């Protein structure tokens, strides 16, 4: 029974007419035992008429109605009687009502729940971090990247979906590369037959034959670049690297363009044929779009070799400098600007296959500078 209900029943018994003198003390004692509380029956002038339990301060705060009050002794319940007396009840188990104790209990519950749930949340966040790392590898170009499937919850289902999607994307890309390589290879057969037919059929107009031969040669060169680009895409690096004197190789290629190469002798590990193609494409690009290379040099900086090719052309607009290394990129105007075709794209592929890269920088005097970085391996 609650304090309010017990107090109401006690008041009804205390207000019974013709009750014996010892009756109030009995009621107060029974009420204190039942509620495990300190109880006092106060007279009209605040004098104690009957007491049960430990003494406590029950000063009158001017409240003459049935209500809980906060006193120096803690929470007390005040129950007035019709004849002016008051029944004051002081629960001994006040800690349940104390705000500080309730706060400590809530803090203890929160800490307990945190300790119990930490291993679970830590496991989930760790798996999400591994899943994120796998997605970043895949987004970075590693199409073979997969994540480990752990558990049987939603995170595991997400990992399974990612692996399945990555496998399909990798298969589509490989199929595309294989199709491109096969088409490029097969195109060379009818192209060779067309060349032979033109050579056999004489034309009265020599200019027509010359133009046809030039177009066929350009088409054959483009097919060769497509085959090389497909092979570089499929390869993860250089198959059989060997020591290459970069300065000697660059000087030999530059001589075909009436240029001289200068710099330091640097030995790199790589594919000599691919490095020749890289150098040749840079020199051809300078000749077509910059009027020829004006400076070709090889430098050594720390643990890398640098091949620098400069020209005095019109340069590349700022908005196109990051995209000139994309295959068949054209400017917004649609003209055949620097970067059109596969020449610079193949340069970047060869540099990356050797663990390096290429970047474009404008010359202060006007023109372009292409800087190829290649690591020097022991």
pLDDT value for 335: 45
pLDDT in tens, the chain (378 residues): 578 888 888 888 888 877 788 888 888 888 888 888 888 888 888 788 888 888 777 776 666 778 887 777 778 888 888 888 888 888 876 544 455 566 778 888 888 888 888 887 888 888 888 888 888 888 877 778 888 888 888 888 888 888 888 888 888 877 777 776 666 666 767 777 777 777 766 665 677 677 777 777 777 777 777 777 767 766 666 778 889 999 999 999 999 888 899 998 999 988 888 899 899 999 988 888 888 889 999 999 888 999 999 998 888 888 888 788 887 776 654 444 444 577 888 888 888 888 899 999 888 888 899 999 999 865
- Nearest CA to 248 out of 272, 282, 277 is that of 272
Q: Are residues 221 and 295 in the same domain?
A: no
**How far is 184 from 78, CA to CA, in rounded Å?**
100
pLDDT value for 93: 63
Residue that terminates a domain, selected from 97, 130, 165: 97
- Distance set, CA 203 to CA 120, 206, 208, 209, 212 (Å): 83, 7, 8, 7, 11
- Distance set, CA 121 to CA 124, 153, 158, 265 (Å): 5, 13, 17, 57
- Nearest CA to 28 out of 5, 3, 51 is that of 51
Total tally of structural domains belonging to the chain: 4
Burial track 223-251 (b if 16+ CB lie within 10 A, e otherwise) = bebbbbbbebeeeeebeebeebebbebbb
Number of Cβ within a 10 Å radius of residue 306: 18
Q: Are residues 223 and 121 in the same domain?
A: no
Q: Are residues 164 and 207 in the same domain?
A: no
Q: Are residues 222 and 259 in the same domain?
A: no
CATH label of the domain that carries residue 34: 3.30.450
Contact criterion met (CB below 8 Å) for 336 and 330: yes
Per-position DSSP letters for 41-106, written without gaps between them? EE-TTS-EEEEESS-------S--SSEEEEETTEEEEEEE-TTS-EEEEEES-GGGG-HHHHHHHH
Q: Which residue has the tokens 């990555």?
A: 166
Residue that terminates a domain, selected from 177, 202, 224: 177
pLDDT value for 95: 46
CATH label of the domain that carries residue 293: 3.30.565.10
Residue that terminates a domain, selected from 154, 177, 200: 177
Residue 21: domain span: 3-97
- Nearest CA to 311 out of 328, 288, 329 is that of 288
Q: What is the pTM of this model?
A: 0.51
CA-CA-CA-CA dihedral for 130, 136, 141, 146, to nearest 10: 20
Q: Are residues 137 and 47 in the same domain?
A: no
Q: Are residues 258 and 342 in the same domain?
A: yes
Q: Are residues 335 and 282 in the same domain?
A: yes
Q: Are residues 256 and 292 in the same domain?
A: yes
Contact criterion met (CB below 8 Å) for 352 and 377: no
Q: Which structure tokens are listed for 342?
A: 């596969």
Q: Are residues 314 and 259 in the same domain?
A: yes
Q: Are residues 169 and 209 in the same domain?
A: no
Report which DSSP code applies to 241. -
If you count them, how many residues does the chain have?
378
Contact criterion met (CB below 8 Å) for 88 and 78: yes
Flag whether 182 is in a domain.
no
Q: Are residues 192 and 286 in the same domain?
A: no
Three-state secondary structure call for residue 362:
strand
Q: Are residues 193 and 165 in the same domain?
A: no
């Amino acid at each position: 029974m609650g304090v309010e209900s017990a107090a109401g029943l006690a008041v009804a018994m205390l207000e019974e007419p013709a009750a014996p003198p010892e009756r109030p003390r009995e009621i107060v004692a029974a009420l204190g035992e039942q509620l495990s509380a300190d109880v006092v029956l106060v007279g009209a002038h605040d004098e104690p008429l009957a007491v049960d339990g430990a003494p406590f301060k029950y000063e009158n705060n001017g409240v003459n109605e049935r209500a809980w009050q906060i006193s120096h002794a803690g929470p007390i319940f005040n129950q007035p009687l019709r004849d002016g007396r008051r029944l004051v009840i002081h629960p001994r188990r006040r800690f349940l009502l104390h705000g500080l104790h309730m706060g400590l209990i809530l803090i203890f519950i929160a800490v307990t729940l945190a300790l119990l749930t930490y291993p679970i949340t830590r496991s989930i966040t760790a798996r999400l971090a591994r899943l994120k790392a796998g997605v970043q590898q895949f987004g970075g170009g590693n199409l073979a990247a997969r994540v480990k499937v752990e558990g049987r919850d939603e995170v595991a289902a997400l990992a399974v979906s990612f692996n399945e999607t990555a496998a399909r994307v990798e298969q589509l890309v490989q199929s595309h590369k294989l199709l491109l390589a096969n088409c490029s290879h097969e195109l060379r057969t009818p192209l060779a037959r067309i060349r032979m037919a033109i050579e056999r059929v004489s034309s009265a107009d020599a200019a027509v034959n010359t133009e046809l031969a030039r177009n066929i040669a350009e088409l054959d060169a483009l097919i060769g670049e497509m085959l090389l680009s497909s092979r570089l895409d499929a390869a993860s690096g250089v198959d059989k690297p060997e020591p290459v004197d970069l300065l000697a190789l660059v000087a030999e290629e530059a001589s075909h363009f009436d240029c001289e190469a200068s710099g330091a002798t640097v030995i790199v590990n790589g594919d000599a044929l691919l490095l020749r193609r890289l150098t040749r494409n840079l020199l051809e690009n300078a000749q077509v779009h910059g009027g020829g290379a004006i400076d070709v040099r090889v430098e050594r900086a720390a643990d890398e070799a640098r091949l620098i090719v400069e020209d005095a052309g019109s340069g590349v607009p700022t908005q196109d400098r990051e995209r000139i290394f994309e295959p068949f990129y054209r400017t917004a105007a649609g003209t055949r600007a620097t970067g059109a075709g596969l020449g610079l794209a193949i340069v970047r592929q060869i540099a990356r296959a050797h663990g390096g890269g290429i970047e474009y920088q404008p010359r202060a005097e006007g023109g372009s500078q292409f800087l190829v970085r290649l690591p020097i391996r022991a």
